[in-house]
Structure 1
Amino acid sequence: MLSRRSFLGTSAATIAVPHVSFASGQLEVVATTGMIADTARQIGGDLVNVTALMGPGVDPHSYRQTRSDIVAMSRADLVLWHGLYLEAQLEDFLLDLGRKRSVVAVGEAVPQDELISHEDYDGRFDPHVWMVPRLWVHVAEAIQATLSEAAPEHTDTFATNADAYRAELARLEEYAQSTLHIVPEASRVLVTAHDAFGYLGRGYGYEVMGVQGISTESEAGLDRIRTLVNTLVEREIGAVFVESSVSDRNIRALIEGAAAQRHDVKIGGELFSDAMGTQGSYEGTYIGMIDHNVTTIARALGAADVPIGGMNGTLAHAG
């Protein structure tokens, strides 16, 4: 029985996921975040029934398990969580559950040399790897491997679905690269509510400034807000971004502070940071979430000829 599958480092437990009998006709999977849940559905197809604990607008950094969550995870064939200390308030429960059930930290499949070190905590890393599709491929492959171990008779189906999904991720990565590079180089500054976009900044050549730290649990001090206001004014940055899962209070403070110095700053749009869009919508999928972010950022920061409908022409609104 798997106590905890971690893909980060060599000392983590790597006991195989047990084979699961399909008594209900489907593999019952519980995923913590919407991004993991959507990816598991894409790879598992009709062979899996995936429940996501955290819906639109939910902050995984501060999320605590409910009674119904405990029941769902305890009864699931597999529990997929991100790891990298994203689900900080859930971690003790998940590690304890992993002593009895199949619990896999799929976010930790990203190679350590691809991770951004946490500036405040030694040995910890920025968990927001989903911001770059090239990195999310590692997570998709970890989910494929986990499903295949649980139901080896369906390995070929999972592999076929995963191949198709990797092709979509490659197309999304190409769109992100080409679209974000249209923004004039001097305008490639992304100011958001918290530091969720570090991988995006590194991957596509953007300077990223968050009011709060990597976790939304960190407090944004007056000095930080004052420093960012001065940066907005001095560098004539005209757009900042709110996030769907984080209060816009600090972003509004930036806008008001800049206005007091006679500098006009607008909200460039709402970005999906730690949660996807409305369930059932295009933005409620991983592909749609990143398509929305890329399109919104590029349009708000001055990129010409970026379609409002995004990569697939199906965005509800962007920018």
Structure 2
Amino acid sequence: MIRRNFLAVLALAFSLPVTAWADAPLKVVATTGMIADAARQVGGDQVDVKGLMGPGVDPHAYRQTRSDIVAMTRADLILWHGLYLEAQMEDFFHDLERKRTVVAVAEGIDTSKLRAHDDYADKYDPHVWMTPELWREVVLEVQAALTEVRPEAAEVFAANAQAHLADIDRLTAYADQVLASVPDNNKVLVTAHDAFGYFGESFGFEVLGIQGISTQSEAGLNRIGELVDLLVDRKITAVFVESSVSDRSIRALIEGAAAKGHEVHVGGELFSDAMGEEGTYEGTYLGMLDHNITVIASALGGDVPDRGMDGKLSAGF
């Protein structure tokens, strides 16, 4: 029944008229906020971008709605992440790519640069936005996708992409500086799920997630017990909650450590699978990572500017 309803909505959407003008902005639909931001940065006034997953939305569990289906079937370009991030939507995208231009923007990254997935054979950690080095490749893939759909704007897309990549490189330099100021024995990042592996590899942090790479994996009592012992034994005092994941497991860690006489506090809320509120600095890719980098460095004993890289963060440190 679900499949039949899905096909009915799909057929109805494709039956709706689509009006196109050569000088009208391209209609682009992107799954995650990070991809939507890349499309806006590269596309500029050549694009009208709709992001499906807003602040606090978990892409691992997200399923397309009827309005999503209509938006995507009427779009000039659909951008999704791939690497099994949108696990509940993969079949839909494979159906859709027969009728629309659909691009999985992270699938082109050389697998030698990716972390193997603990839970699924032949799958990789999709959280590549956590390191600017890998996200640069996604931005270039977005540029290529836009250029394919609108080749006459190739020079505009190329110039916009290079400007955005320059900002990403500046963010990398900022991250290197402030994260290096964290004492070596404090470079342990404990979070709700294993979304920060690429971050840890890039900036020299040990990363420990209660859940696995996907939020759909279970956080067992044994795992929580192991991490409580680790917090106590290594005298780790800060753990981090995530904007798109329940803080229940993190609270269990804090309570478990307290029961053993060790005080642990929440170092801050990090953006893991979704960005901040639309219209804010934290609702952009640069702002998302600037926030994470600054919060982590500050909570773990590093030296940070009061409001991040360019003084744009909404909260001071």
Name the TM tier (shorter chain).
Answer: over 0.9
1:313 to 2:317 alignment:
no
> What does the per-residue CA deviation read over 1:116-154, in whole Å, with 9 as the maximum and x for residues that have no partner?
011232211000000001110000000001101110100
Tell me how far apart the structure 1 counterparts of residues 281 and 106 of structure 2 sit (CA, whole Å).
23
When the two chains are superposed, the root-mean-square deviation of aligned CA atoms in Å is: 1.2
- Identify the residue that residue 132 of structure 1 maps to in structure 2: 131
Shift of 1:308: 2.6
Q: Which residues in structure 2 correspond to 1:159-238 (within 5 Å)?
A: 159-238=158-237
Cα distance in 1 between the residues matched to 2:258 and 2:243: 24
- Partner of 1:107, secondary structure, is coil
CA distance in 1, matches of 2:252, 2:228: 9
1:114 is matched with: 113
Q: Which residue of 2 aligns with 1:103?
A: 102
Q: What amino acid is aligned across from residue 85 of structure 1 in structure 2?
A: Y
Give the drift of 1:172.
0.7
Is the CA contact 1:30–1:51 (under 8 Å) kept in the aligned structure 2? Answer: yes
**Alpha-carbon shift at residue 184 of structure 1 (Å):** 0.4
- Alignment partners' CA distance in 2, 1:93 and 1:103: 11
Match of 1:276 in 2: 275
For structure 1, which runs of at least 5 residues remain unmatched after alignment?
1-19
- Structure 1 segments of 4+ aligned residues over 4 angstroms from their partners: none
1:276, 1:289 within 8 Å by CA — same for their partners in 2?
yes
Cα distance change of structure 1 residues 204 and 318 upon mapping to structure 2, 3 Å threshold: farther
CA contact (8 A) 2:189 2:206 kept: yes
Q: Helix, strand or coil: the match of 1:100?
A: coil
- Given that 2:118 and 2:212 are in contact with CA atoms closer than 8 Å, whether structure 1 keeps it comes out as no
Instruction: Tell which deviates more after alignment, 213-222 or 111-120.
Output: 111-120
1:257 corresponds to which residue?
256
Higher helix share: 2
- Taking the aligned partners of 1:21 and 1:161, their CA distance within structure 2 comes to 24
Distance 2:119 2:270 in 1: 25
> Are the equivalent residues in 2 in contact too, given 1:200–1:206 (CA < 8 A)?
yes
Superposition pairs of residues 79-98 of structure 1, within 5 angstroms: 79-98=78-97
TM-fit CA distance, 1:100:
1.3
Checking the alignment, whether the CA contact within 8 Å between 2:118 and 2:213 is kept in structure 1 is no
Secondary structure, counterpart of 2:50 in structure 1: strand
Structure 2 SS opposite 1:80: strand
Q: Matches of 2:23 and 2:271 in 1, distance apart?
A: 34
Structure 1 position 22, deviation (Å): 3.8
Aligned-residue offset at 1:177: 1.4
For residues 217 and 172 of structure 2, what CA distance do their matches in structure 1 show? 30
Following superposition, the deviation at residue 181 of structure 1 comes to 1.1
Moved more, 244-253 or 171-180: 171-180
- Which is worse superposed, 23-32 or 135-144? 23-32
Question: Partner letter of residue 70 of structure 1?
Answer: I
Distance 2:233 2:186 in 1: 13
What is the CA-CA distance between 1:21 and the residue it aligns to?
A: 5.9
What is the CA–CA distance in structure 1 between the aligned matches of 2:97 and 2:55, rounded to whole Å?
Answer: 26
- Report the TM-score, using the length of structure 1 for normalisation: 0.92
